[in-house]
Amino acid sequence: MSAEVTTRTQASEGTRQPFGQRVRDWWNSRSRLEQWLMIIPVVVLVYLLPVMNFFPLSTEPWTDYELALFNAARLGLIALGLNVVLGQAGLLDLGYVGFFAVGAYVAAIMTSRDSFLTDPRYSWVVVVPVAIAITMVSGVVIGTPTLRLRGDYLAIVTLGFGEMVRLLADNLEPLRGNRGFQDVGGPPGTYANGSPIFTQGDGKPWYWLTVTFIIVILLLIGNLERSRVGRAWVAIREDEDVAEIMGVPTFRFKVWAFVIGAGIGGLSGVLYAGQVGFVNNQRFDVVTSILFVAAVVLGGSGNKLGVLLGALVISYLPDRFQLAPEYRFLIFGIALIVLMIFRPQGLLGARQRLLARGRQAYQRLVGKPEPVATESALIDSGKGTNA
Amino acid sequence: MTSHLALTLAQSGSQWIDFNVGLLAERFWANTVDGLAYGSIYALVALGYTLVYGVLRLINFAHSEVFVVGAFGAYFTFVGLGYKPGPTLASGLGPLIANLVLAGAVAMIAAGLIALLLERVAYRPLRRRNAPRLVFLITAIGASFAIQQGFYLWRGANPEPAIRLVRPEAVFDIAGTRITNIQIVVFVASVVLLIVADRFVGQTRLGRGIRAVAQDPDTAALMGVNKERVIMLTFVIGGALAGAAALFYVMMIPQGVLYNGGFLLGIKAFTAAVLGGIGNLRGALLGGLLLGVVENYGQTLFGGEWRDVVAFVLLIGILMVRPTGILGESLGRARV
Amino acid sequence: MYRARFVRVLALTAALSLGVAACAQNTSQKPGDETKTSGTGSAPSIKADPAPEVPANAALPAGDGKAKCGKVSIAYIGTIAGASAALGLNILNGVKLAVKEHNDANPGCQVTLKQFDSEGSPDKAPGVVTQAISDPTILGVVGLAFSGESKAVGKSFNDAGLVTISPSATNPGLSTNGWKTFFRALGNDAVQGPAISAFVANELNAKKVCVVRDDSEYGIGLADQTSQALGSKVVCDEQVKTAQKEFSAVVGAVQAASPDAVFYAGYYPEAAPFVQQLRDAGYEGAVVAPDGVRDDEFVKNAGEAAEGVYLSCPCLPSSGFTKFSQDYKALSNREPSTYSPEGYDATTILLQGIDKGLKDRASLLNFVKTYEGQGLTKQFKWDGKGELTQTPVWIYEVKDGKIVQLKDMSKS
């Protein structure tokens, strides 16, 4: 696909623009229908990934390939949620893992036999909306006091809240600390022979389920971004004071970003708990939270496809290249530094469409496709002026 | 245990949180002393965060690894001096002090150098490219991973066998509150170091350079301040203080020399820096001591497992009331 | 110029601070230089039982040397480089020794040992266990090492019909899940708890006991079992966290209760600094800790505070197993320690089944289920739930920096 792209754009434009920009312009000048026609094969390919368990892709014999894909997809879902908070609204949330934990624990409490509930046998179909609702409420609870703070103060306070979620799981007896909850339930459904579809060892159904969730959320978030809410977020991200003066109710929209992000985090927590089948306090620490942020920033904060790519890099690559397993985190750390030095704006830069009917409007008025930002969304607006 | 209140939730029927007011009353002064000793270590590490933040507006997430390098530096000096794990050797006071000074010097130099290296390798290329601030955060995380894993590969997951040069002995025993030699050493030495650092930034020419860059880097550069050198200096001072903190920490907890041993301490120190007002040197001292003392009260009151929760609740509570910390951010504005 | 001045300032700072340190030190050296904080002060002296010899009829991995088998392997799953790695390595080296002796003696049956690092963590274990289950050459597993991780993956093994013999997981609840593939090569905490309680009450004559637990499945379970057996003697109950290094609050609470004995239920990485800080604070009563602490790493890390600590273990002292100890040391360059003989025995049982020509998981599972025979450490025969029918518990003591056996509690 890319070869074709290059030739076409080079032919049509005399001045050389950066490659990424040319791809973007070309893509934006396609009609909606053309875009969809090209997206469909890509989506099919993504769905087929788990059966392509051969040389360049496979992570075996080190880790189960299908589970590795599921983990990457799950991180993608998380990155998508965090992108709403961090990439869209520009709120540095270092405690996002807390929402992930809340989702996982809700699933555990509602389905595990270790739960303190008298009959914890709720169907997964019930668990998902309840877990999302509870994480969204926790988003309001955490967001309301903290979102009055800005910048790095917000970062450390969210980090504190994220840690507190974990510590509560640690310390409160009914949440079982390190002992955890066993046999956390997954989605219902059995094969023809009666064996369950969703098991701990088989990553395929989990992967497909997660990818489906990702696609649904991509559509929902995409629409939200082009609405008034999305424009308000961008305004807050670019300059909160100006946004406030121009009549954007900044606090309310910040809480909204927080809550929507939280809901997606909760959903991925439910998926995680269901697949591992076991939830305890060990997976929800600051390091995990920071890895989430790394996925977003690495991929390109503010760019939905970028953050998915970032998640793939953070989750799949360490699984794939385990030639020296004990060195993989060392290599990972160095790779993060090098990548950030050469691509400070992330693998794909932020792109932002602000208008719901922007495509048609731009074509008609300017005769050019709608311009999108190429730089990262989070450039420092001035030294020493951060609030 | 005179009064032992328990908060029970009716639904679950099990006990959620214990309050033990009697124990807190009984051990109030012991907790204060303990808290001041740990708090002064937090303060030393917090100063590194605060200095770098003040100058670069950057959360140096790899600062906890600088601390770990210091701890290993001190540890290997002990090993090199012929100390062995196991029972504390009795040695004369003179050689003991000399050895501690040597270990402290090695720890400070090692930590200072690694902080400098970090600046050159991870941060300077980004500054050259005028990268967004979040990107610095990610490289800091990457550097933190790399250093931590380096130690893991080299020394393994177990802590180094504990070497203890000084055994804690009660120097004063005031109404049942023991104050040990190590606590006094750690507290006094930390406060002295912090005062020296404060004077240095406030009164020397180089310190004025740091303040100038913190206030307005471009004008400072026009006025002849070498910005790059000031930044390097900031990292070195912060690193050296973390190295000193590492020696004190290893004296208090000899089992603490471990590849990821700096992580929690780093978070606590950063919390302390924000608590006092990040970018503010005296704020770091105040924040560190306050955090140390309050979390010690908290863990006696609620139980050891609530220690970190108390620390974060304190932070959140204070930021609600004073959104820029107790003393506010003011490295640039510091005037003495 | 300025740089030079700066260096001088730094040097001055360091010297100054440590000078102050020295002054403080000066006053402090006098009071307690020769006080030896050995914890045995109040405890009566206990006569040590001799370590048992290798039973004459013990099954050894070498077998008769005529075994024939195809390309089969067994797996060790447990911590190798993760948390409390030393305990995992004790087992792994025992397993390695057994496999090596077997393969040396049986040229016609070369069994491969596959190692999986679960990092001792309940959430890492499922990934590696899935990988082990999907390897069809693996017929039996020695592991998992810890209770928490065993709980997380027991069901997967059960579903796969892959037999596991844990040489170290002692939580009583593990055998009550209906897993058909779970066996353990030692007594559970329900055996160890009462034995510890009997030792504390009868041998140490303690009237007041503090129970300190960590937050692991193992620590909590064992503390519950022991507290239950101690009954009203428990005067305080404190909790610590995995990876905690500062224990001033717990130490303070213990001091306030002034017990005759402290029982620490957990693993050695936390036990070492805890015991040291407890002794530093001036506590002089007895300290008792379970098998999770019974490792030379504990003795190294706790320094002089380790001296006189009592350690219980449902494992036998290996000091009587002379040949085993020599071979173990030759292989791993370490002394055999907690669970090394248990790991060796568990491996031997699996290898015996393979030597009999068993080629699939189901028949090996059945072999273990009906197994009856003497091992290095004990008579092995399991009940329907995977618990041993005969389970010795020993109490050890740290003496002159070494862990030596003190008492066979199953005899008293």
Tell me the chain B residues in contact with residue A286 when contact means C-beta distances shorter than 8 Å.
263, 267
- C86 and C196 together in one domain: no
What's the average model confidence in pLDDT over A284-312?
Answer: 87
The pLDDT tens digits of the residues spanning B119-128 come to: 999 899 988 8
Helix (H, G, I), strand (E, B) or coil at C77: strand
What's the average model confidence in pLDDT over A279-283?
Answer: 81
Q: Is the pLDDT assigned to residue B53 strictly greater than 60? A: yes
User: Mean pLDDT for chain A?
Assistant: 81
List, in sequence order, every beta strand (DSSP E) within C171-315: 182-184, 209-213, 234-239, 261-265, 286-289, 310-313
Closest CA to C168 of C153, C183, C178, C190: C183
Residues 238-267 of chain C with CB under 8 A from chain A are 241-242
In angstroms, the separation between the Cα of residue B135 and the nearest Cα of chain C is: 30
- Kindly identify which residue of chain B lies nearest to residue A94, measuring between CA atoms: B137
Bridge pairing between strands C394-399 and C402-408:
antiparallel
Q: What is the pLDDT of residue A369?
A: 60
Q: What is the pLDDT of residue C8?
A: 52
- Kindly identify which residue of chain B lies nearest to residue C2, measuring between CA atoms: B206
Q: What is the pLDDT of residue C412?
A: 55
The pLDDT tens digits of the residues spanning B315-330 come to: 888 888 888 888 887 6
Residue B46 near residue B279, CB atoms below 8 Å: no
Q: Is the pLDDT assigned to residue A323 strictly greater than 90? A: no
Q: Give backbone dihedrals phi and psi of C183, rounded to 5 degrees, phi first.
A: -135, 150
Residue B296 near residue B35, CB atoms below 8 Å: yes
The pLDDT tens digits of the residues spanning C43-76 come to: 456 777 777 777 777 888 888 888 888 889 999 9
Q: How confident is the model at residue C215 (pLDDT cuts 50, 70, 90)?
A: confident
Percent of chain A with pLDDT over 70: 82
Of B134, B148, B312, the CB nearest to A163: B312
Alpha carbons A67 and A70: distance in angstroms, whole number: 5
Which partners does chain C have (≥3 C-beta pairs < 8 Å)? A, B
Q: Do C256 and B193 touch (CB under 8 A)?
A: no
C194 falls within a domain: yes
A158 shares contact with chain B (CB less than 8 Å): no
Tell me the chain A residues in contact with residue B263 when contact means C-beta distances shorter than 8 Å.
286-287
Of C16, C22, C273, the CB nearest to B192: C16
Q: Is the pLDDT assigned to residue A373 strictly greater than 60? A: no
Q: What is the pLDDT of residue A355?
A: 58
Q: Is the pLDDT assigned to residue B10 strictly greater than 50? A: no
- Which residue did the predictor score with more confidence, B272 or C191? B272
Q: How confident is the model at residue B166 (pLDDT cuts 50, 70, 90)?
A: confident
What's the average model confidence in pLDDT over C174-198?
Answer: 90
What's the average model confidence in pLDDT over C305-332?
Answer: 87
A182 shares contact with chain C (CB less than 8 Å): yes
The pLDDT tens digits of the residues spanning C165-174 come to: 999 998 888 8
In angstroms, the separation between the Cα of residue A52 and the nearest Cα of chain C is: 18
Alpha carbons B252 and B114: distance in angstroms, whole number: 23
Q: How confident is the model at residue C82 (pLDDT cuts 50, 70, 90)?
A: low
Greatest mean pLDDT among A181-190, B168-177, B219-228 lies in B219-228
A278 shares contact with chain C (CB less than 8 Å): yes
* CATH fold of the domain at B19-167+175-321: ABC transporter involved in vitamin B12 uptake, BtuC (1.10.3470)
- C207 and C331 together in one domain: no
Q: What is the pLDDT of residue B91?
A: 73
How many B/C residue pairs have CB atoms within 8 Å? 176
Question: CATH number, domain at C277?
Answer: 3.40.50.2300
Mutual orientation of helices A286-299 and A328-342 as an angle, nearest 10°?
A: 40
* CATH fold of the domain at A65-365: ABC transporter involved in vitamin B12 uptake, BtuC (1.10.3470)
- Domain assignments of chain B as residue spans, ordered by start: 19-167+175-321
The pLDDT tens digits of the residues spanning C352-379 come to: 999 988 889 999 999 999 999 888 888 8
Q: What is the pLDDT of residue A61?
A: 67
Percent of chain C with pLDDT over 70: 87
Q: What is the pLDDT of residue C80?
A: 82
- C249 and C143 together in one domain: no
C268 falls within a domain: yes
Q: Do C133 and A61 touch (CB under 8 A)?
A: no
What's the average model confidence in pLDDT over C389-396?
Answer: 88
Q: Do A64 and C121 touch (CB under 8 A)?
A: no
Tell me the chain B residues in contact with residue A301 when contact means C-beta distances shorter than 8 Å.
134
User: Mean pLDDT for chain B?
Assistant: 86
User: Mean pLDDT for chain C?
Assistant: 84
Measure Cα distances from A371 to A119, A376, A381, B165 in Å: 55, 15, 21, 67
Q: Is the pLDDT assigned to residue C280 strictly greater than 70? A: yes
What's the average model confidence in pLDDT over C317-339?
Answer: 85
In angstroms, the separation between the Cα of residue B243 and the nearest Cα of chain A is: 23
The pLDDT tens digits of the residues spanning A331-362 come to: 778 888 888 888 877 787 666 555 556 666 66
Q: Is the pLDDT assigned to residue B7 strictly greater than 60? A: no
Alpha carbons A141 and C2: distance in angstroms, whole number: 52
Q: Do C148 and A183 touch (CB under 8 A)?
A: no
Q: Give backbone dihedrals phi and psi of A24, rounded to 5 degrees, phi first.
A: -65, -45
Residues 166-185 of chain A with CB under 8 A from chain B are 167-168, 170-174
Q: What is the pLDDT of residue A362?
A: 67
C140 falls within a domain: yes
C118 falls within a domain: yes
Q: What is the pLDDT of residue A137?
A: 96
Closest CA to A308 of A62, A69, A19, A51: A69
Q: What is the pLDDT of residue B39?
A: 95
Q: Do C9 and B255 touch (CB under 8 A)?
A: no
Percent of chain C with pLDDT over 90: 38
- C160 and C231 together in one domain: no
pTM of the complete model:
0.82
What's the average model confidence in pLDDT over A40-46?
Answer: 90
Of A146, A326, A386, the CB nearest to B153: A326
- Which residue did the predictor score with more confidence, A161 or A178? A161
Q: What is the pLDDT of residue B44?
A: 95
C216 shares contact with chain A (CB less than 8 Å): yes
Q: Do C16 and B196 touch (CB under 8 A)?
A: yes
- Which residue did the predictor score with more confidence, B242 or B8? B242
- Which residue did the predictor score with more confidence, C33 or B105? B105
Q: Is the pLDDT assigned to residue C262 strictly greater than 70? A: yes
Tell me the chain A residues in contact with residue C159 when contact means C-beta distances shorter than 8 Å.
199
Tell me the chain C residues in contact with residue B20 when contact means C-beta distances shorter than 8 Å.
253
Of B12, B126, B313, the CB nearest to A341: B126
Q: What is the pLDDT of residue A360?
A: 66
- At position C335, the amino acid (one-letter code) is E
- Which residue did the predictor score with more confidence, A246 or C121? A246
Which partners does chain A have (≥3 C-beta pairs < 8 Å)? B, C
What is the domain range of residue C280? 190-313+394-408
- C299 and C402 together in one domain: yes
- At position B20, the amino acid (one-letter code) is N
Q: What is the pLDDT of residue A325?
A: 56
B149 shares contact with chain A (CB less than 8 Å): yes
C251 falls within a domain: yes
- Kindly identify which residue of chain B lies nearest to residue C304, measuring between CA atoms: B87
Percent of chain B with pLDDT over 70: 93
Q: What is the pLDDT of residue C35?
A: 39
Quick one: how many helices (H) and strands (E) in chain C? 12, 14
- Domain assignments of chain A as residue spans, ordered by start: 65-365
Greatest mean pLDDT among A176-180, A184-188, B235-239, C50-54 lies in B235-239
- C404 and C264 together in one domain: yes
Of A153, A174, A333, the CB nearest to B274: A153
Residues 298-317 of chain B with CB under 8 A from chain A are 303, 305-306, 308-309, 312-313, 315-316
Q: How confident is the model at residue A367 (pLDDT cuts 50, 70, 90)?
A: low
Q: How confident is the model at residue C30 (pLDDT cuts 50, 70, 90)?
A: very low
Percent of chain A with pLDDT over 90: 29
Buried/exposed B21-35: b ≥16 CB within 10 Å, e otherwise: eebbebbeebbbbbb
ipTM of the complex model? 0.85
- C296 and C225 together in one domain: yes
Which two three-digit tokens encode residue C352?
Answer: 């015996």
Q: What is the pLDDT of residue A328?
A: 65
- Which residue did the predictor score with more confidence, B113 or A306? B113
Alpha carbons A192 and A189: distance in angstroms, whole number: 10
Q: What is the pLDDT of residue B294?
A: 95
Domain count, chain C: 2
The pLDDT tens digits of the residues spanning B184-213 come to: 999 999 999 999 999 999 899 999 999 899
